Each structure stands twice: as structure tokens, then as C-alpha cells.
A and B are shown apart, each in its own frame.
Chain A
Amino acid sequence: MSLEHFSDEALLALVARGDEEALRWLYRRYAGSVLALARRMGLDAAAREDCVQEVFQRIWRGAASFDPRKTQARSWLLAVAHHMAVDLVRRDASRPRALEPAQDEEEAEAFDLPGPGLDEGGALDRVRIQRALAALSPEERSVIEVLYYQGYAHGEAAERLGIPLGTLKTRARRALEKLREVLGEA
């Protein structure tokens, strides 16, 4: 029986019961995003592969702890990936390159338009998300950049940005809430 059309939640339930085929399908859906995240966070090619391998081993070991009432499967899978990448970044004290210049909307779309053989649905989703990111203020984007894409803990992040911790917390909340609002309207 092919599991291709099963939801992430169903695949995780199967992984929790030891189904390797279900893990393969999750790998095919998410490995590319895990690699992209690891690259964005500054890991070299070897470390990126190690990251993906460790992420899917953690998913294999931890799938039974996934509770669909508490979080979406997609969020859970990508949280495992980000947590692993943060561990590697902090362990190696490697950091991604400095803040990238903000791309305007046209550049973002041109950068990632779906093409032959690509996952067109996923590419369109990315365009939507990039538009939502563009709706953040520069201050909110900086907080997301330093906390999420560079993997700094909150104290260090506040210091790097030169803002009080309370301001960092407020901007982080506002940024995430705004993302959900904008994507909800899209």
C-alpha cells in the first residue's frame, strides 16, 4: 500500500509504530526544507547532511510523543529540525552570514517561481510566506533573523540587537502573530 497520499499526522502515527516506509515519505516531503534551513543557519555541506540524518533519527525515536491535539505534524517535524540545527550551530559556534539585504517582493517571487519538475504547490506556498515575511517591520524581521535563522538564545540576541529583553519578546510575539494573520488572510 503506497502511503504517498497519507497526511503528515497519519505518517507520524505509522512511524510511531515502527513503519519505515512512512518515515521515507516524511523524508521525501521534508528533507529538502531541513537542508535549506540548515544551509540558511550557516552549516556546511557535511554538517547539513548530518543534521538531516539526526533529524529523521529523532523523528523515528520520538514520533510516539507527537500529540496531534497539541500541535500540527508539520510544526512538530520542523521544530525537531530547527532544534537540531540550533544544537549544531551552537555546538560548532558557526553562525550564518550577516543579515541579508531585504528582498523586494518581485525579487522574492522571481527567486522561487515554480518550474518544470518542481513542487509547484510548495513553491506557491513559499511565495505566500515570503509575502507575509515582507509584511513584518524591519525591527520584527531582525528579531526573527537573529533568533530563528541565526539560532541565538534570547539574551545574546537582545545584546546583539542592542534592545532590552522585553522589547525582544514583544517583537518576537508580534512577528509570529503577524505572520499567522497575514497567511490567514491570504
Chain B
Amino acid sequence: MKPEEARELLPLYALDALSPEERAQVEQALELSPRLQAELKELQAAAADLALALPPEPRPEGLEERIIASLPPRVELAKPLSPPSPRPMLLRWLAPAVAAALLLVVAWLGSLGWGWVQALGDPRSQVITLVDAQGHTVGRALVRPDRRTLMVLSLPRLAAGKVYQAWGVGGAVAQPIPLETFRSRVVTLWLPPAAAGLAISEEPGGGSQTPTEIRALPRL
């Protein structure tokens, strides 16, 4: 299907009015065209508004539990975040490329980095892998026993006026704890003892008290 033909069908795609064959053809065209994707995003937002225009109905008693009980098992079931545990021979646990990257960062930090060099060999240190919504690794954090934390990230460049913000999560944390805001790829911060892990969100300049758009979570 040519892009202009697909474009003509986008409103009907957003309204679920195409046959399965037509949907598949439009989806093929979408894969090749960021312009069509952007246009569909707007049309789908309008279609969602049509559903939200209706006053919501009360939720039937017990339906939530029935839905949860009916969920098919998943291979990658969530596990609770565990508190930092001793990790003997830490360098062996790190992928060689990650270890090299961390060592480069340590070297870049100069004299201030000596504590991080020691942390790499400290069995009480912890490495947290951060992943995006698709499960791709977007960074790692090295947490020292004194909770000083070094993060190396590969998140997308931010728009003007936006910042990334770190959050303490997991463990004994009931609500994400707001931590430092930053725009750089290498960040040092202090992770509160109650938090077992870190999350990263995108926020308006100055940061927020609750996460707006989560960009990275600890890999479970």
C-alpha cells in the first residue's frame, strides 16, 4: 500500500472500521513512515476522547479479583526488589564492556574517583541495571556501601526545559523518593537506605514530587 493510500485510511484505522486485511496493510505502511505514525498518534488520541466522553460506569464488585485470578502465567513474572546483598568478585559479575565503561568514568572522575575504584572491588557494593519500557538496558548504577551511587546512562537527549530525575524505589519505600535532577549521562547521588533500587523519570525543569514520565526502572 502506498503511503498516500494508507494516510487516507488512518481515520478509519483509528476508529476500528477497517477489515483485518486493511489493518495489516496500514500497519505495514506505518512501519515505514514516521510521518504517518505521528499523524495516527493524533487521530488515536481523538478516538480515545470519544470513549472518555462517556460517564464511567461503576466497577462490578469482585471483577478486579476475577481478572487478576484469570491472568495467564508469565515467564518474566515480577519479583520483589531485594535489598543490596554482598556480591563477591563483583568485577566478574559485570559484563566486560560495562566494567570498562565504569572504569573509564572512574578515570574521568580523577582523584575524586578513587572511592569508586575501591567500590568496584568491594563485595558489599551493588550494581543496578536500568531498563526502559521495552526492556532495553539504558544504564547502570554502582551503589557503594555508604549509599553513594554512580550512574552511567544512555537515555535520549532531553528537550529544552526538561530534566531527568532519579527516584529511590523498592525495599521499604512506600512512595518513590525524589532525588537529584540532571541532564548529564554520568551522575553521582546518595541513595536513601530505605530504597533498594533507582528509577529515572523525565520531568519539567526543577523536578517534581511524584514521577511524571518514567524512563528507566531497575531490571527485576
Residues on A facing B (Cβ under 8 Å): 1-2, 5-7, 9-10, 12-14, 16-20, 23-24, 27-28, 31-37, 39-40, 48-49, 52-53, 56-57, 60-61, 64, 66-68, 70-72, 74-79, 81-83, 86, 111-112, 119, 122-123, 125-126, 129-130, 132-133, 144, 147-149, 151-154, 157, 169, 172-173, 175-177, 179-180, 183
Contact = CB atoms under 8 A, between A and B. Distances in A.
B174 A10 contact: no
Contact of A176 (B43, B72, B175, B176): B43
A180 B45 contact: yes
Given A18-B74, A144-B50, A177-B46, 19 more contacts: A13-B133, A17-B76, A20-B68, A31-B64, A49-B60, A56-B67, A72-B45, A78-B51, A78-B52, A82-B16, A86-B16, A119-B56, A129-B50, A133-B50, A133-B53, A144-B15, A148-B16, A151-B16, A169-B12
Contacts of B213: 7, 9-10
A147 B12 contact: yes
A169 B11 contact: yes
7 contacts: A6-B211, A6-B214, A14-B217, A23-B71, A133-B53, A149-B50, A177-B43
Main secondary structure of the interface of A (DSSP, over half): helix
Contacts of A126: 52-55
Interface in B173-215: 173-176, 201, 210-214
Contact of B41 (A33, A75, A125): A75
B146 interface: no
A171 to B, nearest CB: 9
Contacts of A122: 52, 56
Contacts of A132: 49
B161 interface: no
A9 B54 contact: no
Interface residues of B, number: 63
B68 A75 contact: no
Contact of B134 (A67, A119, A129): A67
Contacts of A19: 78
Contacts of A172: 11-12, 15, 17
A71 B72 CA distance: 26
B57 interface: yes
Contacts of B132: 13
A179 B72 contact: no
Interface string B97-129: 000000000000000000000000000000000
Contacts of A130: 53
Contacts of A34: 51
Contacts of B176: 1, 5
A103 to B, nearest CB: 11
B54 to A, nearest CB: 4
Residue of B17, B48, B169 with most partner-chain A CB within 10 A:
B17
Given A14-B217, A35-B56, A67-B134, A57 B72 contact: yes
